[in-house]
């Protein structure tokens, strides 16, 4: 394919075409130059006994639509005009402003179908997909679609990733077995999965670092440097889109801070504050737990116990403090259905309510379980702590969390058997 004066220039390097296996894309800035290249390409194929697939051949104007639509042919056969087409997995659109939305919408639809298959089929096969395998399936099957093209198309608008975010949050809620009203931040802090906008931004920045380390004559390095020149000239560019994508993030660096702030400021997530490291019983002064990681309680084998503890932590349970929230009842009026004295919140239901004899029996059984696992000395030290601190110790340790989850399951089931108290 000959070089012409109407070739595309990338940082001074002339680019006439790109080759990807048997897929070839030819560039030109004028109809005459493009037809010249098509003729030369056809002649080369004839000399090498190759055939051009006319059904897969098309042309597309990028950016401004020409006033007079030109026509192109290969050996007399017209090449059709397309306004949207897929090339090496990326959707190209003649209107560059909607190119990203078309691509992400397609990938979001594919990821959603896979998500439905994972939980629709496997849940029937094994009753319920445990969180750890579900997370592996997410990273292997769903995440590649949600992140596809992140390095080529930075998320320069929020609407472009809206569908991707919806698919990700739906999957993680199914993984944790919580409802659509659950808060967003715990979906990531409990599973160790990155929010999709940050994940895509991270991949784009990594790709930028890779491109800048390539040799000077490498096409991708030339493209990035040319894009930087366009940004300096206040023109639309890939580097400019990347800078805008980073500026649109809640916090431009990392994703720990926004999730942590949302939890600390949320009245709905009291049990996710002040959590301890998994080795807390071995530490003289327990370290705080990481903000985002795959939590130990999600590895529990007992499905009902694991789900009960997850819903308690994420405030997706049936206690009055949560259910009456959506009925507009003031916090101080969400009274306990058993004792009718205090607010029916998580700590009251687990450790304080004395309005039901079965609750006292369950607490005694929990004490015995913990004493058998950790020893009576640990139990004596826990008795000197407040109920919130006791809960954090038991939830953090891998040896005590099974007993705690079983206890939570039985307590919540006991409360669910009695209607919520509503002050008439």
Residue 91, pLDDT above cutoff 80: no
Q: How confident is the model at residue 97 (pLDDT cuts 50, 70, 90)?
A: low
Q: 72-74 and 17-20: which strand pairing?
A: unpaired
Which of helix, strand or coil describes residue 293?
coil
Q: Please give the angle made by the CA atoms of 233, 231 and 248, to the nearest 5 degrees.
A: 140
The sign of the CA dihedral 196, 198, 202, 205 is positive
Instruction: Report which of residues 339 and 156 the model is more confident about.
Output: 339
Q: How many residues are there in the chain?
A: 424
Residue 258, pLDDT above cutoff 60: no
Mean pLDDT calculated for residue range 170-177: 94
How far is it, in rounded angstroms, from Cα 148 to Cα 145? 5
Q: How confident is the model at residue 151 (pLDDT cuts 50, 70, 90)?
A: confident
Cβ contacts of 270-275, under 8 Å, gap ≥ 24: 270/345, 270/346, 271/312, 271/313, 271/315, 271/346, 271/391, 271/395, 272/186, 272/189, 272/313, 272/314, 274/388, 274/392, 275/392, 275/395, 275/396
Which of helix, strand or coil describes residue 339?
coil
Q: Minimal CA–CA distance to 343: which of 229, 245, 242, 420? A: 420
Mean pLDDT calculated for residue range 279-295: 86
How far is it, in rounded angstroms, from Cα 2 to Cα 8? 13
Residue 256, pLDDT above cutoff 70: no
Which of helix, strand or coil describes residue 333?
helix
Q: Under a CB-based contact definition with an 8 Å cutoff, are residues 412 and 312 in contact?
A: yes
Residue 392, pLDDT above cutoff 50: yes
pLDDT of residue 261: 56
Record the pTM: 0.76
**Which helix (H) or strand (E) covers residue 74, if one does?**
strand 72-74
Q: How far from the centroid of its chain's Cα atoms is residue 351's Cα?
A: 35
The string of pLDDT tens digits covering residues 38-49 is 999 999 999 999
Instruction: Report which of residues 98 and 13 the model is more confident about.
Output: 13
Residue 255, pLDDT above cutoff 80: no
Q: Which of 72-86, 257-271, 281-295, 331-345 has the lowest mean pLDDT?
A: 257-271
Q: How confident is the model at residue 129 (pLDDT cuts 50, 70, 90)?
A: confident
Longest Cα–Cα distance in the chain: 92
The string of pLDDT tens digits covering residues 319-332 is 999 999 999 999 99
pLDDT of residue 53: 85
pLDDT of residue 20: 83
Looking at the DSSP assignment, which residues form a beta bridge with residue 125? none
pLDDT of residue 194: 92
Q: How confident is the model at residue 125 (pLDDT cuts 50, 70, 90)?
A: confident
**Helical packing angle, 401-416 and 387-396, nearest 10°:** 120
Domain-by-domain residue ranges, the chain?
8-93, 101-248, 270-417
pLDDT of residue 100: 67
Residue 110, pLDDT above cutoff 90: yes
Mean pLDDT calculated for residue range 166-187: 93
Residue 257, pLDDT above cutoff 50: no
Looking at the DSSP assignment, which residues form a beta bridge with residue 191? 294
Residue 169, pLDDT above cutoff 80: yes
Residue 346, pLDDT above cutoff 90: yes
Mean pLDDT calculated for residue range 347-351: 95
pLDDT of residue 145: 94
Q: How confident is the model at residue 2 (pLDDT cuts 50, 70, 90)?
A: confident
Q: How confident is the model at residue 300 (pLDDT cuts 50, 70, 90)?
A: very high
Instruction: Report which of residues 167 and 90 the model is more confident about.
Output: 167
| Average pLDDT across the chain, whole number | 87
Mean pLDDT calculated for residue range 380-400: 92
């Amino acid at each position: 394919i000959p070089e012409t004066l109407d070739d595309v220039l990338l940082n001074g390097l002339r680019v006439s075409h790109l080759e990807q296996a048997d897929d070839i894309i030819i560039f030109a800035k004028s109809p005459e130059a493009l037809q010249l290249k098509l003729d030369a390409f056809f002649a080369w194929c004839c000399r090498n006994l190759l055939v051009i697939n006319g059904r897969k051949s098309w042309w597309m104007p990028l950016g401004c639509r020409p006033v007079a639509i030109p026509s192109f042919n290969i050996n007399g056969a017209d090449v059709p005009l397309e306004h949207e087409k897929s090339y090496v997995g990326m959707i190209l659109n003649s209107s560059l402003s909607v190119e990203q939305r078309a691509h992400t919408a397609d990938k979001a639809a594919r990821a959603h179908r896979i998500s439905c298959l994972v939980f629709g089929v496997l849940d029937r096969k094994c009753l319920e997909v445990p969180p750890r395998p579900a997370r592996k399936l997410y990273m292997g099957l769903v995440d590649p679609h949600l992140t596809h093209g992140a390095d080529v198309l930075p998320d320069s608008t929020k609407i472009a990733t809206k569908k991707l975010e919806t698919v990700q949050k739906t999957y993680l809620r199914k993984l944790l077995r919580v409802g659509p009203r659950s808060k967003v931040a715990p979906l990531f802090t409990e599973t160790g999965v990155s929010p999709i906008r940050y994940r895509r931004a991270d991949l784009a920045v990594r790709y930028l670092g890779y491109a800048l380390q390539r040799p000077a004559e490498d096409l991708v390095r030339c493209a990035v440097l040319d894009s930087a020149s366009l940004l300096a000239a206040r023109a639309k560019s890939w580097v400019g889109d990347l800078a805008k994508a980073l500026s649109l993030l809640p916090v431009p660096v990392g994703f720990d801070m926004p999730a942590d702030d949302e939890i600390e400021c949320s009245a709905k997530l009291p049990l996710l504050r002040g959590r301890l490291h998994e080795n807390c019983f071995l530490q003289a002064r327990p370290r705080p737990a990481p903000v985002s990681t795959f939590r130990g309680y999600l590895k529990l084998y007992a499905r009902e116990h694991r789900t009960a503890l997850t819903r308690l932590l994420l405030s997706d349970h049936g206690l009055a403090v949560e259910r009456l929230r959506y009925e507009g009842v003031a916090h101080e009026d969400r009274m306990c259905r058993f004792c009718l004295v205090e607010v029916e919140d998580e700590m009251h239901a687990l450790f304080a309510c004395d309005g039901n004899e079965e609750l006292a029996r369950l607490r005694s059984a929990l004490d015995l379980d913990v004493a058998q696992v950790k020893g009576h000395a640990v139990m004596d030290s826990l008795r000197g702590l407040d109920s919130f601190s006791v809960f954090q110790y038991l939830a953090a340790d891998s040896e005590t969390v099974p007993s705690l989850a079983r206890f939570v399951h039985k307590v919540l089931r006991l409360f669910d058997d009695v209607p919520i108290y509503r002050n008439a």
